[in-house]
Structure 1
Amino acid sequence: MKKEELLPGRRALLRGAALATLATTAGCFSRPWSAQPAPPAPAPAGGAPALRRPQKPAAYRLRPIAGYGPARSLPAAAPVRSKPILRLASRNRTMVLTFDDGPDPRFTPHILRTLRQHHVRAMFFVCGEMAAASPDLLREMVDDGHLIGNHTWTHPQLLRLRRSGVLREIESTSEVVQRTVGEAPLWFRAPYGAWNRDAFEIGAGLGMEPLAWTTDSLDWTEPGTRKVVDNVLRGAGSGVVILNHDAGGNRWQSVEALRIYLPRLLADGYRFGLPQRRIT
């Protein structure tokens, strides 16, 4: 599917985004998931769909670019931040689990199954080209109560793109998510944690808040399952946002690590929630 084919609904999406805002403090969690577990999801039929271009893991560091104010052309209801949100205020040992780069039919179903088994909801920052290839996985995420975020179409380094290119990457992904699950994403995460003015302004113009992370599991480096588990356990804390991946490489270590650290954190009294939004 070409990116140009995803743009007709842009005006409707922008109108809808102007009506939606998120909690201004970015410190509210929705109530813990109490739904009864659904039957295990069946294994994906056949092999993973061929991707137009494989996504390669790369070393990155979060270095937000600051020092500017809101753009006048953006709706007043869409705040423009100069830094991404790194953690959420919490006093009850609640954290947020996030997964980037998917969905991937080889790994995402296993992650969804583990989350369902423990009644935990998470955020999935999807790439548009992956979402277009596996729309059923997006619908499964929503059916299970997870939040879908925008992680661009092809996972590029946004700092190397012109503003028009950044717009296409972000807007096209919001379009495909909206068409698939009926609601555009309300959260955005820049690939590689590389934020710039265009990313903040365009994301805000589409009604999204920028969410980064507090704890990097480093699963993208494929350091071994035990190391991923140790990284998450060591970085646990109230309001922490944990970065994981369900695509972009071999993610079996991510799948196995989640099966180990999730029940351990729950047994230690940690809970997992989602950022809460409100309509004004």
Structure 2
Amino acid sequence: MKKDQLLTRRGALIAGAAALGAAGCAGVLASGGGDEPVRPVAPAPAPFPGPQASSVPEPSGYRLQPLTGYAPARAAPHRTRVRHEPFLRVYGRGRTMVLTFDDGPDPRYTPHILDTLAEYDVRAMFFVCGEMAVDNQDLLARMADDGHIVGNHTWTHPLLTQLKRSQIRWEMKRTSDVIENAYGQRPLWFRAPYGAWNRAAFQLGAEMGMEPLAWTVDTLDWTTPGTRTIVDRVEDGAAPGVVVLSHDAGGNRSQSVRALRHYLPDLLDSGYHITVPRRRYA
């Protein structure tokens, strides 16, 4: 398919998704209360087509209610609820997915990821480590300009379950300070390194106005399994509500950069709307 035909087709998909977002944001869950999630009015379409397309993988031990949206995060108007589990997936009208990138920003890889996202007019989430962000604040400023969401991934990427409460607070607060300085606002989302959550992390995150977000599909790109393997993991796991975990730092991430260039246009051509979650309150 020629590039201009591909972009025309993708533009139609994006326009249709935007119309659904404007008309149907009522079909999302508010994060502030209620025991039952609000499901989309129409049944969710089938997962990403492929030789082994299957339902969304079960996300190891967490059972959560979803939330989603189509607009940039805004400052929290109310106290953030202390949760006991992180969010793993999102729901919206249509085939909604979220792409997330951890451990950056890294000037060797993050700009290439931002370039690919900009080429396809797609927004994503970046969970940054403070010790990386402090020396690359220009990349956080670009994320803000491009409409991406920046979340808190601690300062040094430690195992929180082995830290004292005061140490966890320091890791989170110092990172939020850097994000605010470079991005323009304090982060509204938090992700624990290694997915290792504890009570202190949930409580301190809520005190700082952040919601916890984990993931549904882990690309395991940090193991450098090969570009094709990363692409297959994303496309085989693609389904409405999926949150994909990748990395833009923490090692050689050239495979992650190349994989995004392959699976992102494939997802868009298959009708997926790649978006970012919006905080909602009861």
Q: TM class, shorter-chain normalised?
A: 0.7 to 0.9
Aligned residue in 1 for 2:52? none
Aligned residue in 2 for 1:117? 119
Q: Please show how residues 135-214 of structure 1 align to structure 2 within 5 Å.
A: 135-214=137-216
Aligned residue in 2 for 1:232? 234
Q: 1:233 to 1:27 in 2, by over 3 A?
A: farther
Q: Distance in 1 between matches of 2:171 and 2:179?
A: 13
Aligned residue in 1 for 2:107? 105
Q: 1:65 to 1:192 in 2, by over 3 A?
A: farther
Residue 88 of structure 1: how far off its partner (Å) = 0.9
Residue 89 of structure 1: how far off its partner (Å) = 1.8
Q: Distance in 2 between matches of 1:226 and 1:27?
A: 36
Residue 23 of structure 1: how far off its partner (Å) = 4.4
Q: What is the letter of the counterpart of residue 88 of structure 2?
A: L
Q: What is the letter of the counterpart of residue 255 of structure 1?
A: V
Residue 276 of structure 1: how far off its partner (Å) = 1.2
Aligned residue in 2 for 1:272? 274
Q: Distance in 1 between matches of 2:137 and 2:191?
A: 20
Q: 1:210 to 1:148 in 2, by over 3 A?
A: same
Residue 77 of structure 1: how far off its partner (Å) = 1.7
Find runs of 4+ consecutive structure 1 residues off by over 2 angstroms.
22-28, 61-66, 277-280
Match of 2:249, SS?
A: coil
Q: What is the letter of the counterpart of residue 96 of structure 1?
A: V
Q: 1:172 to 1:62 in 2, by over 3 A?
A: farther
Match of 2:105, SS?
A: coil
Number of matched pairs = 220
For 1:92-127, what per-residue CA distance to the aligned partner results, in whole angstroms no more than 9, with x for missing partners?
Answer: 001000000000000000000000000000000000
Percent sequence identity over aligned pairs: 60
Q: Distance in 2 between matches of 1:273 and 1:154?
A: 28
Match of 1:96, SS?
A: strand
Q: What is the letter of the counterpart of residue 171 of structure 1?
A: K
Q: Distance in 1 between matches of 2:156 and 2:130?
A: 7
Aligned residue in 2 for 1:48? none
Q: 1:199 to 1:178 in 2, by over 3 A?
A: same
Q: Distance in 1 between matches of 2:242 and 2:185?
A: 26
Q: 1:102 to 1:245 in 2, by over 3 A?
A: same
TM-score by length of 1: 0.74
Match of 1:141, SS?
A: helix
* Cα RMSD after superposing both structures: 2.5
Q: Distance in 1 between matches of 2:238 and 2:63?
A: 26
Q: Distance in 2 between matches of 1:249 and 1:272?
A: 26
Q: Distance in 1 between matches of 2:181 and 2:230?
A: 34
For 1:36-84, what per-residue CA distance to the aligned partner results, in whole angstroms no more than 9, with x for missing partners?
Answer: xxxxxxxxxxxxxxxxxxxxxxxxx966699xxxxxxxx9721011000
Aligned residue in 2 for 1:87? 89
For 1:130-164, what per-residue CA distance to the aligned partner results, in whole angstroms no more than 9, with x for missing partners?
Answer: 00010000000010000000000000010110111
Would the aligned equivalents of 1:123 and 1:147 in 2 still touch at CA under 8 Å?
yes
Would the aligned equivalents of 1:23 and 1:276 in 2 still touch at CA under 8 Å?
no
Residue 171 of structure 1: how far off its partner (Å) = 0.8
TM-score by length of 2: 0.73
Match of 2:261, SS?
A: helix
Q: What is the letter of the counterpart of residue 157 of structure 1?
A: L
> Which consecutive residues of structure 1, in runs of 5 or more, have no partner in the other structure?
1-21, 29-60, 67-74
Q: Please show how residues 38-49 of structure 1 align to structure 2 within 5 Å.
A: none
